[in-house]
Structure 1
Amino acid sequence: MASNERTARWPARLHVVTGKGGTGKTTVAAALALALAEGGRRTLLVEVEGRQGIAQLFGIPPLPYAERRVAGVPGGGEVRALAVDPEEALLEYLDMFYKLGAAGRALRKVGAIDFATTIAPGLRDVLLTGKVKEATTRSREGRRVYDAVVLDAPPTGRIGRFLNVTAETARLAKVGPIKSQSEGVASLLRSPITAVHVVTLLEEMPVQESLDAITELGSLHIPVGRIILNATQPALLTAAKVTKAELKRGLSAAGLPADAGAVSGLAAEARAHLTRRRLEESLRTELTETGRPMVELPLLDRGVDRSGLEELADRLMSG
């Protein structure tokens, strides 16, 4: 895909990927990072939850608090990854703004850093989002270091609070570097540079959490990008109803047992499948009514490996 087409489909520079736990948001984030690296571009894939999900996906050792190359892309592009550790981010912050250096590292030994981020969870989110902002805006020799940054963010139930750093830090500081940094992050997150993409399955709870998150993000004036329907499957039946007579004829034509027990069992499975499809279509309609563009990704029957990620990357670019 040409660069201008990619930009038209995914115009942001910071792509925040959220979704209810179990929807595959880390997989989608990794696939998006691969997709955006096509054409000789460089992307950074960031995680902030301490799960080392990126390392597991790419089959590499746990990531340190440093940007590491995890994948090359045809055409000369590459994906780098970073696992942001709140403690390391705070040490970096203290050294940057207060020049503490070794004194800051001494605070770690006595547990002061863990204590600070525990009693002030808003500070933790400022540090995490602040590091993401720095990577997104970083430049070298007049050129951005990363063409795009993809953040594997906290789940939908916490995404509003995580991104609404200004409100959280208002309780922590009225002036000073913390306040300035949070305001800079808030400005970036509310600009056209950012898009929050919501990953969901066509199941009731994930869809409801997605709808709630979209509403919350809208109220916070944080731009929502695409809704990504993950692990979708094609319809096995196209008719609205299947009769036992049709099933019996089909089984006989295929040379399979067509006794009453086999037909009744297959009929029950067909009814369950059609009921499930009606529910999925209802949920798809609810998501469509948000007015957000949607992309559908297939269920990877063989599991998630590099070829699977590349397949999802292709779908993200073409969807």
Structure 2
Amino acid sequence: MSDWPKVRLHVVTGKGGTGKSTVAAALALALASHGRNVLLCEVEGRQGIARMFDVDPLPYEERRLATGLKGPDGTPGTLHALHIDAESALLEYLSMYYKLGRAGRALDRFGVIEFATTIAPGVRDVLLTGKVFEAAQRNSRNKKATQYDAVVLDAPPTGRITQFLNVNNELAGLAKVGPVKSQADTVMTLFRSPRTAVHLVTVLEEMPVQETSDGIDELRRAGLPVGGVVVNLVRPRDLDADDLAAAREGRIDAEQVRADLKQAGVEDGDDLVEGLLSEAADHAERRSLEDTQREIVAGLDVPSYELPRLAGGVDLGALYELAAELKRQGMA
């Protein structure tokens, strides 16, 4: 059973370097594996989805990435992707609200679109979030558009997520009335509802965990719904507490290590044994620091999930592996 059965929009954020884009992609796959139709969106212009799924760079339109992700009852799930850029969103917006078809494209050639979205970052965020809102809120009356059971947004980093989602506050001094203000107000009805959850990705290091804690506090002050915390890149926990303490305190018997190496057919030597003991001490110290940060995460009063550090890095197969882990832990 999923911990978030009522959530339609999953927003994934995290400090740079924590792997938030990987987690967003894995979460989208996990949701689709329930036999659902899922859309994975990105808004930072990095074409991260295309790289992770090894496809050509995505245009400003929805593209199917994966099919046949069958749910328990055999219903096939499908994953689509959408790369949202502010300039294309503004052209679409001008065409929709002001009927500026060719004129809008002419403005783009003169650089007016880039100018407008640069000097007014609040407007830029309204355009980006508005497209996400439209995908999440589609209904059966729009026969031509694909209907999605869930939308996963690979969002900006933790330090900017509240500003990005709290679009009507950002527009307060910029647009008091009109379609831009109306769109921002409409978007906020979804972002502040139980149909949205903002999930934060961290690693077990002091700075990312602190930023996650601060991000949760900031989201709550803004009235935005906090989801879960995904602890990414977790090291294997193969050694018990006694072995870790012995490694950390330098109490491992070097002669026993040398004998074990010899029994395994490995040529021993002082450099090899000393290197192994040094690695063991570093690992034990790292584990101790991680356990301290894990306790802090546990005290954040939100559901938490852990994803392993994969030795071979993250390719498409690894994404499916991480998706299965999120599903097993109940995030999807």
Same-fold call, TM cutoff 0.5: yes
Map of 2:256 onto structure 1: 249
Give, in angstroms, the shift of residue 221 of structure 1. 1.1
Give CA deviations for 1:220-277 in whole Å, capped at 9, x if unaligned: 1111111001111112432222454534213303415666555444333222211111
Greater shift in the superposed pair: 261-270 or 69-78: 261-270
Superposition CA RMSD, Å: 1.9
Within the alignment, does 1:71 sit opposite 2:66 as a pair?
A: yes
Map of 1:229 onto structure 2: 231
User: 1:310 is matched by which residue type in structure 2?
Assistant: Y
**Of 37, 43, 49, which aligns to 1:48?**
43
Q: Does the CA-based 8 Å contact 2:125-2:167 persist in structure 1?
A: yes
Percentage identity across paired residues of the two chains: 55
Map of 1:317 onto structure 2: 327
Give, in angstroms, the shift of residue 40 of structure 1. 2.5
Map of 1:25 onto structure 2: 20
Mapped partners of 1:106, 1:100: distance in 2? 10
Task: Count residues with an aligned counterpart.
Answer: 314
**Secondary structure, counterpart of 2:253 in structure 1:** helix
Uncovered stretches (5+) of structure 2, i.e. residues with no partner: 71-75
Q: Does the CA-based 8 Å contact 1:244-1:263 persist in structure 2?
A: no
RCO higher in structure (CA 8 A, sep ≥6): 2
Q: 1:245 to 1:155 in 2, by over 3 A?
A: closer
Greater shift in the superposed pair: 80-89 or 300-309: 300-309
User: 1:108 is matched by which residue type in structure 2?
Assistant: D
Map of 1:294 onto structure 2: 304
Give, in angstroms, the shift of residue 19 of structure 1. 0.8
Give, in angstroms, the shift of residue 194 of structure 1. 0.4
Mapped partners of 1:247, 1:13: distance in 2? 56
Q: Does the CA-based 8 Å contact 2:12-2:201 persist in structure 1?
A: yes
Mapped partners of 1:217, 1:73: distance in 2? 36
Within the alignment, does 1:37 sit opposite 2:32 as a pair?
A: yes
**Secondary structure, counterpart of 1:196 in structure 2:** strand
User: 2:308 is matched by which residue type in structure 1?
Assistant: P
Map of 2:89 onto structure 1: 89
Q: Does the CA-based 8 Å contact 2:95-2:104 persist in structure 1?
A: yes
User: 1:241 is matched by which residue type in structure 2?
Assistant: A
Q: Map 1:60-139 to 2 at 5 A.
A: 60-75=55-70, 76-139=76-139
Greater shift in the superposed pair: 152-161 or 206-215: 206-215
Map of 1:170 onto structure 2: 172
User: 2:154 is matched by which residue type in structure 1?
Assistant: D
Q: Does the CA-based 8 Å contact 1:244-1:267 persist in structure 2?
A: no
Greater shift in the superposed pair: 198-207 or 232-241: 232-241
Uncovered stretches (5+) of structure 1, i.e. residues with no partner: none
Q: Does the CA-based 8 Å contact 1:58-1:70 persist in structure 2?
A: yes
Mapped partners of 2:110, 2:277: distance in 1? 66
Q: Does the CA-based 8 Å contact 1:188-1:194 persist in structure 2?
A: yes
Give CA deviations for 1:22-48 in whole Å, capped at 9, x if unaligned: 111111111111111123310000000
Q: 1:245 to 1:222 in 2, by over 3 A?
A: closer
Q: Map 1:205-220 to 2 at 5 A.
A: 205-220=207-222
**TM-score, structure 1 as length reference:** 0.93
Q: Does the CA-based 8 Å contact 1:154-1:162 persist in structure 2?
A: yes
